[in-house]
Structure formats: C-alpha cells, structure tokens
Amino acid sequence: QKHDIRLGDIVVSAPGDGNGGVFQYDFGKTIQAVTSLKAQYEIDGHQLKEAINRILEKRPRLCQKYKQPDSSTDRLFKPEATHHSNCAVDCVYDSSKLISRHGGTEEEDNPAIDYGLIASANQQMKDALIRDRLAYEKDVLCFEMGAAGLMNLFPCLVIRGICDYSDSHKNQE
C-alpha cells in the first residue's frame, strides 16, 4: 500500500500529476440528478417564476435588481452587428441589425431551462461570429467566465442565467 492513511487522519488535496488536487472520476450521480430534474420539469414544469416571486414578495428591496428583464429589451443582434459608442442610440432603432424570433407562448415555461454544453473561458465572449461558430461546431448553449478552470479543481455542476448574448452588445443591468 502506497499510503498508510488511518481513521482520524487528515488529507489535504495538493496538485500533482496533471490534476488540480481534486478530480472527478464518476459523473454518475450528476447525470442521474440532472436526468431526474429534467423528467420532473417535463411533467410539472419548473415553477421558477413562482418561487422567485415568493422570494421577491418577502424581500421587495431585491425586486429592481433581480426582476426578469422586460421582453422589449430582449434583442438578439446579427453577428456582424457590432457595438460602438453610439450603440445605445443607433442599435436600438435599427431593426435591420436584429435577428427575428417568434415570441413565446403561454404554455412555454418562462424562463426556459436548457441542458447542454457551457463553454467557459478566462475572458468574456464578445465576438458573435466566434460565438456562433462554437455554438454550431460544438453545440454550445452559452458562454461564461466564472467557472473557467474550476472544473479542473473540483467536481461541480455549472448553472448559468443568461444576461446577454455573448456579443459586443453587453447588458449593463
């Protein structure tokens, strides 16, 4: 036996052999948990809106910061439409730069929950052309930078709320 570890000993993770000190060797429980949640949400819906509204009713000071954005601000720009200093004026009134999308129905969950690949990096994704290429080639659902490198250090499940479309038109709210 390589290590003589006994009851009452303490083990501290330390990087070595290409690992960050902790590595995930079994995705089984995570996969089971996500599959179970997906099945539950398909049957009952996720009821996130109701849960959030209950919290906001108890804590009204949080309403302004944590409310869902108005649908009129949900604008997906064409990849070639880049942000510049006058964007707040120019982009808002130029519908030729927008991608046309259908509105949701009453039966659809709002917000929707999607399951799939999240791309993580050490910097914000601001290039819609690269965003679209990675989304197409790798089936990436969203981009984030908060968990960049985290998965190499310890097992985790990343859940992201979408606040912008990973392009040059960043949501400042």
| Domain residue extents for the chain | 70-153
User: How confident is the model at residue 58, as a pLDDT?
Assistant: 93
Burial letters for 57-70: b for 16+ Cβ neighbours within 10 Å, e otherwise? eeeeeeeeeeeeee
Once rounded to an integer, what is the mean pLDDT over residues 153-165?
73
Q: Which residues fall within 8 angstroms of residue 116, CB to CB, at 6 or more apart? A: 139, 140, 141
Q: Which residues fall within 8 angstroms of residue 75, CB to CB, at 6 or more apart? A: 91, 98, 169
Going by pLDDT thresholds of 50, 70 and 90, the confidence category of residue 24 is very low
The whole-chain average pLDDT of the chain stands at 72
Once rounded to an integer, what is the mean pLDDT over residues 18-30?
56
Question: What's the pLDDT tens digit per position in 104-144?
Answer: 665 565 677 788 777 777 777 778 888 888 888 777 777 77
Once rounded to an integer, what is the mean pLDDT over residues 3-21?
58
User: How confident is the model at residue 171, as a pLDDT?
Assistant: 59
pTM over 0.75: no
Rounded CA-CA distance 128/118 in Å is 16
User: How confident is the model at residue 144, as a pLDDT?
Assistant: 78
- Report the candidate in 99, 148, 140, 159 with the shortest Cα–Cα distance to residue 124: 148
